[in-house]
Amino acid sequence: MRLYPQLKSIICVAGLCFSTNFLLAQHRLLPQIQQTAESIHAQIGISALIIETGDTINFHQEQRFPMQSTYKFPIAMAILHLVDQGKFTLEQKITINQSEIIPRGASVIREKYPQGASLTLDELLRLNIAESDGTACDVLIRLAGGTQKVQDYINSIGIKDMRISTTEMVQVSDDWTQYQNWSTPNAMTGLLKTFYKGNVLSKNSQSKLIEWMIGSVPGNKRLKGGLPANAIVAHKPGTSGTFRGLTRATNDVGIITLPDGNHLAISVFVSDAYGTTQEREGVIAAITKIIWDYAGNK
């Protein structure tokens, strides 16, 4: 991924943008990615960045997409920042009230503790990321001081084109509400880069979050779906419900360790899609594999 590093301009064709380091690969990657994106009736956004080299591939990277549970990644970052400041400890027990348990959507807490519970902050964070637990997410938002406090933190580390507006409790009550929690692909990939470069969280907090993302239970047929079984993928998927054949969000964002040891920060959003789960997840897997194959051969 080090072709002509002295060139810094961006080439864009039909909505797909490449850094000039990818210029020589355009003739191969552009048709593949376009064909894959057009294989399903959906809005698709892609932002991919090799963290160590700065190489990028972007497709509708400035368009706003509903984040769904990918927003649990920045929420976890905001809480870990408070841990680093000494305002919380990972061992601290947090009370979960029955009124905070979401009625629908993924929640291990709801299934195991329908009357409420007291869990460590470490376990709440793990459930939020690895199990995509909506109840855990809302408790973390409460601890952060509300969605605006999470938003303030994300803005403070330089991420602008991302909006965290509502809780999971509100989001699961109305199919339209999810559009209030949105991000551009560029903003999410920028957040992944900022997180991974180690400038905003302590090493312990960074390592914990990576560990939880590698252990993510949902979404293993998305970014990971077309990669070798031993590929290391730290990711956070997000999924909406399907109503009358329309799925408003099928997403996956994360950091992939490439064969040469470099790291690919990638965000793929599939919005307003008509298609099966296999088709929606397959598009994400195929796009990721195209980029992996090219990067792995450099």
Catalytic positions are: 69, 168
Tokens 């090493």 — which residue? 203
Cα separation, 133 vs 197, in Å, equals: 27
Cα separation, 159 vs 180, in Å, equals: 17
Conformation bin of residue 251: beta by default, left when phi > 0, alpha when psi is -120 to 50: beta
Cα separation, 253 vs 255, in Å, equals: 7
What residues are paired with 242 via a beta bridge?
247
DSSP H or E segment with residue 147: helix 147-156
Cα separation, 5 vs 57, in Å, equals: 15
Cα separation, 74 vs 107, in Å, equals: 19
- How many other CB atoms are found less than 10 A from the CB of residue 243? 9
Contacts within 8 Å (CB) and 24+ apart, 84-88? 84/201, 84/202, 84/205, 88/121, 88/143
